[in-house]
Amino acid sequence: MSGHGGPKKTIATRAIQAASLLVTFGVLYGVTRVTPELESHLGTVAAVGFLLLAGTLMSELLETIGLPHLSGYLLAGIIGGPHVLHLVDHHTVQELSPVNTLALSLIALAGGAELRLDTLRSVARGLAWATLIQSAFVLVCVAGVFLAIASYIPFTHGLNSKALIGVALLWGVLAVSRSPSACMGILSQTRAKGPVATFSLAFIMLSDVVVVILLATMIMLARPLITASGGISLEDFTVLGHEILASIAVGVTLGLGLAVYLRLVGRQLLLVLLAIGFGLSDTFSYIHVDSLLAFLSAGFVVTNLSDQGPKLLHSIEQTGSVVFVVFFATAGAHLDIPLLRQLWPVAIALCASRAFFTVVAGRISSRLAEDPAVLKRWGWSSLVSQAGLALGLSVVIAKAFPSFGEGFRSLAIAAVAINEMVGPILFKFALDRAGETDRHEPEVRPSLPDAPAAP
Amino acid sequence: MNGIPFLLGLLVLAYLGSILVGGRAIRGFGLASGAEYLVLGFVLGPQVLSVVGRSLVDNFQPVVLVGVSWLGLVLGVSYLRVGERRVPLPHIVLGVALSALVSACVTATVYFGASQFSPLPRTEVIALAATAGIVCSETTRHSVRWVVERYGAKGPLADLAADTARASALFSLLALAVVSAWLPGAALPAISVLERVLVSLGLGVVLGFTAALLLGREFRRDESWGILLGTSLLGTGAAARLNLSPISATFAMGLTLALVSRHRIDIKAMVTPTEKPVLLPVVLLAGAYVNVKLPIPLLVLVAVALVSKIVARVACGGLLSITAKPVRGVGLEFGGSMLSAGALGLAVALAFGLRHPGVVADTVLLLAAVSVLVGEWLGPASLRRALSRAGEIKPETPASEPQPTLPSEA
């Protein structure tokens, strides 16, 4: 992702970008019309190129109206995706899952590396209150709204009141999940520094751990409410505890290894990050270690136990400048627009209530923690975005409760789609208004001169 | 073996490749053509140890496609320059003409042999003959670089060798565009072969112009990567979907960038170091794809094509010793030096295999692999002899250390 601040781009530059965007769409549109069915997986290559180029150009064009780059990537994916122009089909979106794996590992590594102990200490009080209030208050209130509008939600019809409470609590857990990727995406673009940026990053990374624990708790509590034969079992907690400890242990080991490599070798970091992203994510999944937490711990260790943090962050930024565009554009292509069209009234009601209670919870926690004024005003802004993590939770819930799981998941997809589009815009707006966005020009230089012709 | 360990293995190779182009490695280290990685791939592949099975190798088709197409882009971007020096137009013309001549000889020989002795249908015979000719028309510039850097050679003969080797890529990739457009199964059946060739090259030119425009006035390295990768992958994928030649499209894109972008030097400096890291995994995969269990007539044809190539190259050297001043007196050695084959021949064979899989593609890939091995044996030694006899190498002092100011590629 390119930096936010830069020399003002002229109308000619914007016109070239718009024309190039048309060429990009035109090339793939022409090709997909000539060869509509693709038997091999070679079409993935064109899709990656298209998403990368169209996402970059769309983000540049949307920048003119103040929207974040992330919205541009998403929009490019939506327009080119299976539900609008069908330039990238469902199969290709599935084939791009390794890119998502890589992007998520880079996001978690970068997220951990951004968390310095001294800055964490400075926001520790606010963080503790926010975690408590945002988790408890938002969970309960959104669950209440869910109960209130349950008669408009098709998959809840036929559930008794106890089961309904169970489902509402599960929806409440979904509501307190945030998007580390969207947060990192916006921070990477804006290069924001300040209380809102620091608090957002720390809170969202911490909330990733909290929400996993909350989900296990709620599944345990909801099971006897939803299924007559179900009982409370602490076994889930044992498994979860092992997973969290193992993830942190593995992450610390990886972090130490990375720090040693960065110090002693420090070269070919692109290839090292690719190997870590692809190879270790797969291994972690195999040994039941939470990748996000492990990479987060690794980044944290590199930054806080060595002086190699800036080098790691710089490498991730370079690699991510390409990977993140494809990741978010793929997320856009993945958005189920027909489903959103079908469920939009309920989804909007749930999203609006979630955003409202998030703002209220933000205000309460800031007051209790005596946060600075800027944090009281904008501290909630990063918490509206949702993306892959929320969808992952909905899959877990759908698997745990197959009787209503698919309906639950569909509604979750629709709600996440809205939050995914609206959240980043709010966060960037807040960072701009809080004055934390970096407006320095990125490094540019004139081109190297041509060598003289050989005699 | 599943995909992830194999992918990690390829990344390790890429890591090795990036070290080889880095400042700490000894220039001229390893074999000139990268033949050792080809052999390693063959040994690990389904033909020998089967550590890497056929289905796994097939799953890596997109990696091969992207690798060979990126190679095409690198070749295009760096086509007009050897290091800091521009390649003179007469040398480009000479390089292309030599390639065309050798290709014609091999094509004619293989066509005659295949028509007479192989059971292949006529279309397949033409495809085999044409692609065998294309594969044999390449002289790898890495071999020239290897000898020049290892022995510290300098002079008109070294320059001519480097220039003609570089120029040979143009013929190979244009000819591949023609063959891909001509083969059955190409999209756009309503238009002629020539028009399909223009579509594949035009795609590269349009995307090259687009990239040049987007790179704009100032050069931002991070943004440039996104634009270059995006345009090249779009071009690669679009050409592959149309069943045209992706490597030709990306070559056209690279050449367009080299001609019209004001950042041509920056772009070359950016993409050239990526060549080895991409190349080594592709060469390893090429080794794994090689199939030696072919019908006897086709194996004989591979041998015949190779002999034909050697004869044509040596004859070209003889011809040059009469017409080109730097080659005077060292014609046979210079002809022998042009036998060096490498990445481009393998890339052409792989691209052809993706476009038209089957026994013909297997034969062409085997020919490319054998050409690399034979070229490795004969080419660098011949060039070294030619340069010594021309007085461009001091025989008693082979350079033990690289010249620090030498560019990263020839």
Structure confidence at residue A452 (pLDDT): 45
B199 pLDDT more than 50: yes
- Across the interface, of B187, B207, B266, the residue whose CB is closest to A35 is B187
Q: Which residue of B has its CA nearest to A450?
A: B265
CB atoms within 10 A of CB A347: 23
Structure tokens at B20: 């080889």
Alpha carbon of B35 to those of B20, B32, B168, B277: distances in Å? 15, 8, 20, 15
Say how far apart CA B393 and CA B406 lie, in whole Å.
16
Residues of A in contact with B235 (CB under 8 A): 49
B232 touches chain A (CB under 8 A): yes
Alpha carbon of A419 to those of A140, A362, B143, B189: distances in Å? 19, 17, 56, 46
* Residues in a beta bridge with B82: B85
Which of 243-262 (B) contact A at CB < 8 A? Answer: 243, 262
Report the first-to-last Cα separation within chain B, whole angstroms. 38
Burial A203-228 (b: 16+ CB within 10 A, else e): bbbbbbbbbbebbbebbbebbebbee
Each residue of B74-101: pLDDT tens digit? 999 999 888 778 889 999 999 999 999 9
Domain range for B124 is: 3-389
Give the position of tokens 């098709």: A154
Structure confidence at residue A7 (pLDDT): 57
Say how far apart CA B383 and CA B114 lie, in whole Å.
33
Q: Is residue B173 part of a domain?
A: yes
- The HSE-up count of residue A111 (CA atoms within 13 Å, CB side) is 31
B218 pLDDT more than 80: no
The helix (run of H) or strand (run of E) holding residue B81 is: strand B81-82
DSSP A65-117: TT--HHHHHHHHHHHHSTTTT-SS-HHHHHHTHHHHHHHHHHHHHHHHHH--H
CB contact under 8 A, A42 and B219: no
B290 pLDDT more than 60: yes
Structure confidence at residue B238 (pLDDT): 92
B166 pLDDT more than 70: yes
B66 band by pLDDT with thresholds 50, 70 and 90: very high
Each residue of B138-159: pLDDT tens digit? 888 887 777 877 888 888 988 8
Asked if residues B330 and B155 have their Cβ atoms less than 8 Å apart, the reply is no
Structure tokens at B233: 């992958």
The long-range contacts involving A58-62, CB below 8 angstroms and separated by at least 24 positions, are: A58/A21, A59/A1, A59/A2, A59/A325, A60/A2, A60/A9, A60/A14, A60/A17, A61/A14, A61/A17, A61/A18, A61/A21
CB contact under 8 A, B241 and A42: yes
B241 touches chain A (CB under 8 A): yes
A285 touches chain B (CB under 8 A): no
Structural domain boundaries of chain A?
Answer: 11-96, 99-434
B356 touches chain A (CB under 8 A): no
Say how far apart CA A88 and CA A86 lie, in whole Å.
5
Which of 65-84 (B) contact A at CB < 8 A? Answer: 65-66, 81, 84
Q: Mean pLDDT of all residues in chain B? A: 85
B124 band by pLDDT with thresholds 50, 70 and 90: very high
Question: Which of B63, B218, B257 to mutate to probe the A interface, most A CBs <10 Å?
Answer: B218
**Min CA distance, B271 vs chain A (Å)?**
14
Structure confidence at residue B251 (pLDDT): 96
The helix (run of H) or strand (run of E) holding residue B85 is: strand B85-86
A288 touches chain B (CB under 8 A): no
Say how far apart CA B393 and CA B161 lie, in whole Å.
14
Residues of A in contact with B222 (CB under 8 A): 2, 317-318, 321, 442
Q: Is residue B401 part of a domain?
A: no
**Min CA distance, A445 vs chain B (Å)?**
6
Cα B216-B219-B220 angle, rounded to 5 deg: 110
CB contact under 8 A, B61 and A42: yes
- Across the interface, of A20, A275, A321, the residue whose CB is closest to B8 is A275
Alpha carbon of B297 to those of B93, B114, B245, B302, B371: distances in Å? 36, 8, 28, 9, 18
Structure confidence at residue B30 (pLDDT): 60
A451 touches chain B (CB under 8 A): yes
Say how far apart CA B213 and CA A23 lie, in whole Å.
12
B62 touches chain A (CB under 8 A): yes
Q: What angle in degrees, to the nearest 10, is found between the helix axes of B35-44 and B275-289?
A: 40
- Across the interface, of B15, B214, B220, the residue whose CB is closest to A442 is B220
B225 touches chain A (CB under 8 A): yes
Q: Is residue B407 part of a domain?
A: no
Asked if residues A296 and A111 have their Cβ atoms less than 8 Å apart, the reply is yes
- Across the interface, of B22, B218, B219, the residue whose CB is closest to A267 is B22
Q: Is residue B402 part of a domain?
A: no
Q: Is residue B240 part of a domain?
A: yes
Residues of A in contact with B236 (CB under 8 A): 45-46, 49
Could you tell me which of A384, A385, A371, A378 has the C-alpha nearest to residue A432? A378
Alpha carbon of A53 to those of A22, A38, A321, A330, A358: distances in Å? 11, 21, 12, 12, 35
B219 pLDDT more than 70: no
Structure confidence at residue A8 (pLDDT): 65
Structure tokens at B194: 């020539």
ipTM: 0.86
Which range scores top for mean pLDDT: A348-352, B118-122, B373-377? A348-352
Structure confidence at residue B3 (pLDDT): 67
Question: Which of B163, B188, B213, B241 to mutate to probe the A interface, most A CBs <10 Å?
Answer: B241
Position with higher pLDDT, A45 vs B2: A45
* Residues in a beta bridge with B81: B86
Which of 160-189 (B) contact A at CB < 8 A? Answer: 187-188
Which CATH number fits the domain that encloses residue B21?
A: 1.20.1530.10
Residues of A in contact with B65 (CB under 8 A): 42, 45
Q: Is residue B410 part of a domain?
A: no
Whole-structure pTM value: 0.85
Asked if residues B155 and B393 have their Cβ atoms less than 8 Å apart, the reply is no
A318 touches chain B (CB under 8 A): yes
**Min CA distance, A37 vs chain B (Å)?**
9
Q: Which CATH architecture has domain A99-434?
A: Up-down Bundle (1.20)
Residues of A in contact with B159 (CB under 8 A): 454
Q: How many domains does chain B have?
A: 1
* Residues in a beta bridge with B174: none
CB contact under 8 A, B227 and A53: yes
CB atoms within 10 A of CB B120: 21
Q: Is residue B399 part of a domain?
A: no
CB contact under 8 A, B220 and A444: yes
CB atoms within 10 A of CB B86: 16
B14 pLDDT more than 80: no
Structure confidence at residue A90 (pLDDT): 85
Structure confidence at residue B406 (pLDDT): 38
B8 touches chain A (CB under 8 A): yes
One pLDDT digit (tens) per residue for chain A, 455 residues: 444 445 567 888 889 999 999 999 999 999 888 887 655 566 788 999 999 999 999 998 998 888 888 889 989 999 999 889 988 888 888 888 888 888 888 888 888 888 888 888 888 888 999 999 999 999 999 999 999 999 888 888 888 888 999 999 999 999 998 888 888 888 888 888 888 998 998 898 888 778 888 888 888 888 888 887 666 667 777 877 888 899 899 999 999 999 999 999 887 788 888 888 888 888 888 888 888 888 989 999 999 999 999 999 888 888 877 888 888 888 888 888 887 788 888 999 999 999 999 999 999 999 999 888 998 899 999 999 987 778 878 888 888 888 888 888 888 888 888 888 899 999 999 999 998 887 665 555 555 555 444 43
- The HSE-up count of residue B22 (CA atoms within 13 Å, CB side) is 13
Q: Is residue B368 part of a domain?
A: yes
CB contact under 8 A, A450 and B218: no
Structure confidence at residue A449 (pLDDT): 52
Phi, psi of A70 (to 5 degrees): -55, -40
Question: Which of B55, B222, B265, B350 to mutate to probe the A interface, most A CBs <10 Å?
Answer: B222
CB contact under 8 A, A42 and B264: no
Mean per-residue pLDDT, B100-113: 95
Position with higher pLDDT, B135 vs A123: B135
Q: Which residue of B has its CA nearest to A53?
A: B230
Structure tokens at B54: 């056929």
- Across the interface, of B4, B22, B206, the residue whose CB is closest to A279 is B4
Cβ contacts of residue B238 below 8 Å, gap of 6+? A27, A28, A31, A46, B203, B249
CB atoms within 10 A of CB A181: 28
B196 touches chain A (CB under 8 A): no
Alpha carbon of B157 to those of A29, B93, B361, B387, B395: distances in Å? 49, 16, 36, 7, 16
Asked if residues B269 and B91 have their Cβ atoms less than 8 Å apart, the reply is no
The helix (run of H) or strand (run of E) holding residue A124 is: helix A124-148
A87 touches chain B (CB under 8 A): no
B265 touches chain A (CB under 8 A): yes
Q: Which residue of A has its CA nearest to B227?
A: A53
Structure tokens at A410: 């569909």
Report the first-to-last Cα separation within chain A, whole angstroms. 43
Q: Which of A156-160, A230-234, B8-12, B115-119 has the lowest mean pLDDT?
A: A230-234
B350 band by pLDDT with thresholds 50, 70 and 90: very high
**Min CA distance, A136 vs chain B (Å)?**
41
**Min CA distance, B235 vs chain A (Å)?**
7
